[in-house]
């Protein structure tokens, strides 16, 4: 279970949101909406432990995430809006490097299959700088097929994706939820999921 308890977010002298609360159980997804600058990404960074809230706390399985440390991070997959890819590496090399940083082993066949499912078959060995923005985002999102984590936190996962790729992402989120996972994502686009979904708006 992921729980946000009375979260406050302050940037400079501006309060972006106050007393924000939600609780997600297995098989549930939270959609976070709001205008640019409303605090959506700040909220996600609080949920993954990269930014401390001005007040309130985030709990995972009933314990504060700041006390869980690496135990929590091993349950978490975070795809931020900045893609974090190395332009000089190939798509496959980026995934292998990312798995190594996550301290998980992966085979070449698994990487190849993840990229195929992400619609990048035949582009596995191209340098990332040669890919379009949509293709780069697919490389980043291919991590969801490789890292077996209970909680997915995805910042604008459909940005720059065409209809087919967007449907693939939504299908993978639904698959994750149907297997007892939890997901949180920000989006400006309409998302229809089969799994149970909550919606919150920040900055309203």
The pLDDT tens digits of the residues spanning 45-102 come to 999 999 999 999 999 999 999 999 999 999 999 998 888 899 999 999 999 999 998 8
pLDDT at residue 194, rounded to an integer: 86
31 and 95 in a single domain? The answer is no
Beta-ladder partners of 186: 32, 155
- Residue 108 lies inside a defined structural domain of this protein: yes
162 and 65 in a single domain? The answer is yes
Which range of residues forms the domain containing residue 95?
85-148
Domain final residue pick, 130, 148, 166:
148
Interval 4-45: pLDDT, tens: 999 999 988 889 999 999 999 999 999 999 888 889 999 999
Q: Say what the pTM is.
A: 0.92
Please state, as a whole number, how many other Cβ atoms lie within 10 Å of the Cβ of residue 170.
17
> Is the predicted pLDDT of residue 204 greater than 80, yes or no?
no
71 and 157 in a single domain? The answer is yes
SS (H, E, C) the chain: CEEEEEEEEEECCEEEEEEEEEEECCCEEEEEECCCCCCHHHHHHHHCCCCCCCEEEEEECCEEHHHHCHHHHCCEEEECCCCCCCCCCEHHHHHHHHHHHCCCCCCHHHHHHHHHHCCCCCCCCCEHHHCCHHHHHHHHHCHHHHCCCCEEEEECCCCCCCHHHHHHHHHHHHHHHHCCCEEEEECCCCCCCCCEEEEEECCC
- Residue 47 lies inside a defined structural domain of this protein: yes
Interval 108-161: pLDDT, tens: 999 999 999 999 999 999 999 999 999 999 999 999 999 999 999 999 999 999
Overall domain count for the chain: 2
61 and 93 in a single domain? The answer is no
- Residue 80 lies inside a defined structural domain of this protein: no
pLDDT at residue 83, rounded to an integer: 84
Token pair for 182: 């939890």
């Amino acid at each position: 279970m992921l729980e946000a308890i009375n979260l406050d977010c302050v940037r400079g002298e501006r309060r972006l949101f106050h007393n924000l609360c939600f609780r997600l159980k297995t098989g549930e997804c939270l959609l976070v909406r709001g205008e640019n600058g409303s605090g959506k990404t700040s909220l996600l960074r609080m949920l993954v432990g990269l930014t401390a809230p001005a007040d309130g706390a985030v709990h995972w399985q009933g314990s504060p995430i700041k006390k869980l440390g690496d135990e929590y991070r091993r349950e978490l997959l975070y795809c931020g809006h900045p893609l974090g890819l190395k332009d000089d590496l190939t798509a496959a090399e980026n995934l292998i490097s990312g798995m190594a940083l996550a301290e998980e082993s992966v085979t070449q066949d698994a990487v190849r299959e993840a990229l195929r499912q992400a619609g990048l078959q035949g582009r596995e060995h191209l340098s990332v700088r040669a890919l379009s923005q949509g293709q780069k985002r697919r490389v980043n999102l291919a991590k969801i097929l490789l890292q077996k984590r209970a909680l997915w936190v995805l910042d604008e996962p459909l940005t720059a994706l065409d209809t087919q790729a967007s449907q693939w992402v939504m299908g993978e989120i639904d698959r994750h939820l149907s297997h007892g996972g939890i997901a949180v994502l920000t989006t400006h686009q309409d998302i229809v999921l089969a799994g149970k979904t909550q919606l919150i708006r920040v900055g309203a």
